[in-house]
Amino acid sequence: MSGVAFDTCDVLVVGAGPAGMAAAVAAAPSGASVVVIDDNPAPGGQIWRDGPGASLPPVARQWREALARHANIRVRSGTRVVAAPASHELLLEDADGAMRMRWTKLILCTGARELLLPFPGWTLPGVTGAGGLQALIKAGLPVEGERIVIAGSGPLLLAAAATAIAAGAQVLRIAEQASFASVAAFGASLVRWPGKALQALTLADARYRTASRVLSAQGTAQVESVRLRQGDREVEMACDRIACGFGLTPNTQLGQLLGCALAGQAITVDALQATSVAGIYAAGECTGFGGSERALVQGTIAGHAAVGEVAKARTHDRERARWNAFAAQLHRRFALADDLSALPRPDTLVCRCEDVPFSALSACTGWTDAKLHRRCGMGACQGRVCGDAAQFLFGWTPPAPRPPLVPVRIETLAGLATPGDARQ
């Protein structure tokens, strides 16, 4: 083996979103050596993503400054986890090369990704995720004057609309699949979280419609229009862009690779944010989505617990319970309707990487069957998009991931091969 560096730390935090930043800041005063790795160019995660089209909120700046104040925290941005070549080691890759990082305690703050459901026309240029649209705008995508329709479910739709409007776009419709009664009940419940109630008021938009969903996108080389069902009627709107997001799916691949147990689609944790594997903790959206406030307090607890400060960790129990209750409201009020699985037609592509249509999957017995005989999930995204969609459409449970977790350079793969490795 050559070209692979080696490093060690007491606490390794994977993910530099709110949970990861809070975990590192909580652990640092103990004097432990802390390393934070993240595949984005700067700390903040998806919610506090930086870029030429982004205005970083004050709270995000405060957490970045808190990271910088501790000399024993090293932040490695632009770094991806490839594999777990041995016990208490991760193989990493960045622009400069590969590294094997040995850790004593590990905190997983791997976040979540958007759930994208296939519908006719969803592969046309101009169709993105709702969060994807936000990320593109923050990265500098010009949308001034564009006519945009946003559809799916959850508060992210309103946040995406606000980002697009601030960038000069014309948002024609915000289509929420949940019923009016469910959304109204969620709004009424926000009296328990005044900050969230205020945020909801600032994001309120007259173009918001409940019991509405996307049916199809039309166009030749680019999106030209969208068909929506609004209650009992169908409408068609001319538009330049469609952004659809149907909630979030926890990123659990690394946790699964390391043997951490799941509850549903999220990593299971105890009162100290410890997973089922000794020495490994988890915080934030990988334990179930619930917003940045929940991620921050979970990360704080995990950071204290990882360095043995149990008493300090327990002082945050009540705050975590409060935000867990908010997360439960989100899950209940924006639960996806079962009939969304009827959106794709037989020729609608489910796996965009390998061009696998819905009709080719309907007779498969499960994810492995679909992967082996239809190549579903064999492309560049490695099932991150179509795997989640297939789980919703067919109820398939994806198998535990295998290394490498992401496409990597051959030189990096060489880092897996050393004598005495327990895991290959």
pLDDT tens-digit profile of 306-355? 999 999 999 999 999 999 999 999 999 999 999 999 999 999 999 999 99
**Greatest mean pLDDT among 47-51, 136-140, 238-242:** 238-242
Sorting pLDDT into bands at 50, 70 and 90, what band is 55?
confident
The two three-digit tokens of residue 221, written as one number: 């080389």
Comparing CA positions, the residue from 137, 214, 217 lying closest to residue 173 is: 214
User: How do residues 358-387 score in pLDDT, each as one tens digit?
Assistant: 999 989 999 999 999 999 988 888 888 999
Answer yes or no: is pLDDT of 24 > 60: yes
pLDDT band at 398 (very low <50, low <70, confident <90, very high): confident
What type of residue is 345?
R
At 1, the pLDDT band (50, 70, 90 cuts) reads: very low
Q: How far apart are the first and last CA of the chain?
A: 14
Helix (H, G, I), strand (E, B) or coil at 401: coil
Write out the E strands in 16-88.
Answer: 34-37, 73-76, 80-83
> What is the DSSP annotation of 319-335?
HHHHHHHHHHHHHHHTP
> Per-residue pLDDT averaged across 4-33, rounded?
97
Smallest Cα–Cα separation from 19: which of 55, 54, 49, 43? 43
Whole-number mean pLDDT of the chain? 94
* Mean pLDDT, range 271-279, rounded to an integer: 98
| pLDDT at 416 (0 to 100) | 79
Instruction: For residue range 74-94, list pLDDT tens digits in order.
Output: 999 999 999 999 999 999 999
- Half-sphere exposure in the Cβ direction for 87 (13 Å, CA): 5
Q: Which residue has the tokens 């099932």?
A: 383
Min mean pLDDT across 4-13, 111-120, 279-288, 398-407 is at 398-407
The Cα–Cα gap between 86 and 403 comes to 12
CB-facing half-sphere around the CA of 272: CA atoms within 13 A:
18
| Mean pLDDT in residue range 222-250 | 96
The pair of structure tokens assigned to 97 is: 């090369």
Packing angle, helices 292-306 and 18-27, rounded to 10: 30
Contact in structure between 385 and 116 (CB atoms under 8 Å): yes
Q: Which amino acid is at 289?
A: F
CA distances from 413 to 40, 110, 422 (A): 21, 22, 15
Region of residue 97 (phi > 0: left; psi between -120 and 50: alpha; otherwise: beta): left
d(CA 424, CA 421) in angstroms, rounded, equals 7
Model pLDDT, residue 400:
80
Strands 349-351, 241-246: pairing kind: unpaired
Q: What is the dihedral of CA 205, 210, 216, 219, to 10 degrees?
A: -20
pLDDT at res. 376:
92
Element of type H or E holding 203: helix 194-203
CA distance 252 to 384: 11
- Integer Cα distance of 402 and 424 in angstroms: 9
DSSP annotation string for 180-230: HHHHHHHHHHGGGSHHHHHHHHHH--TTEESSEEEEEEEESSSEEEEEEEE
Task: With beta carbons less than 8 A apart as the criterion, state whether 302 and 23 touch.
Answer: yes
* Burial profile 163-182: b = 16 or more Cβ within 10 angstroms, e = fewer: bbeebebebbbbbbbbeeeb
Q: Write down the pLDDT at residue 420.
A: 55
- Read off the pTM: 0.93
Question: Are the CB atoms for 384 and 110 separated by under 8 Å?
Answer: no
Q: Do residues 50 and 78 make contact, with C-beta atoms less than 8 angstroms apart?
A: no
How far is 236 from 147, CA to CA, in rounded Å?
13
